């Protein structure tokens, strides 16, 4: 189950630095937990870190970091679609790697999903990822057309 929380800013709430929240659940991905997969605030979509998990089984896909990267980005694509976006709407990603030496291989996969223009990106090696994953990717996207500066 893909869980997207839609947050609508209200004028008075903004003045008080508060948010009104309306939850919307879309059945797409089963992460096996009650994790929120994305939060939509105004036109900005904040996508939680995606592991290379098979949506049906909730298990990491076999085949190592390349296959996990493909699955994580495929999962992200489904979340983007549910939010009315695609990869061209992504403005920032953060890539977490179990081994920074996998960056080059992951970058080749990354280029298959981000084809026209690359979003800003940070990549880090971390001590461990959930379920023993090799990669996790989070993203920020903006709904609608992006204007160029």
Q: What is the reported pLDDT for 60?
A: 97
pLDDT one-digit tens code per residue, 96-130: 999 999 999 999 999 999 988 899 999 999 999 99
DSSP letter string over 5-74? EEEE--HHHHHTT--EEEEEEE-S---SS----EEEETTEEEEEEEESB-TTT-SBPSS-HHHHHHHHHH
Report the pLDDT averaged over residues 44-73. 96
E strand or H helix at 2, and its extent? strand 2-8
pLDDT one-digit tens code per residue, 83-97: 999 999 999 999 999
Mean pLDDT of the chain: 83
Q: What is the reported pLDDT for 42?
A: 85
Distance CA 68, CA 131 (A): 12
Q: What is the reported pLDDT for 40?
A: 87
Query: Do the beta carbons of residue 43 and residue 60 sit within 8 Å?
Result: no
Report the pLDDT averaged over residues 29-34. 48
* Strands 20-26 and 2-8, bridge-based pairing: antiparallel
* Strands 90-97 and 120-125, bridge-based pairing: parallel
Report the pLDDT averaged over residues 20-38. 53
Q: What is the reported pLDDT for 4?
A: 53
- Single pTM value for the model: 0.79
Q: What is the reported pLDDT for 77?
A: 97
């Amino acid at each position: 189950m893909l869980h997207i929380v839609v947050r609508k800013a209200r004028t008075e709430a903004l003045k008080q630095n508060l948010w009104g929240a309306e939850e919307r659940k879309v059945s797409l991905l089963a992460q096996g937990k009650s994790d929120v997969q994305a939060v939509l605030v105004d036109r900005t979509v904040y996508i939680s870190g995606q592991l290379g998990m098979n949506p049906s089984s909730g298990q990491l896909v076999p085949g190592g970091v390349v296959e996990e990267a493909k699955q994580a980005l495929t999962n992200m694509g489904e979340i983007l679609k549910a939010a009315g976006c695609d990869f061209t709407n992504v403005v920032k990603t953060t890539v977490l790697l179990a081994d920074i030496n996998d960056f080059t291989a992951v970058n080749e996969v990354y280029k298959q999903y981000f084809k026209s223009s690359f979003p800003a990106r940070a990549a880090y090696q971390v001590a461990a990822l959930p379920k023993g994953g090799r990669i996790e990717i989070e993203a920020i996207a903006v709904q609608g057309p992006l204007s160029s500066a």
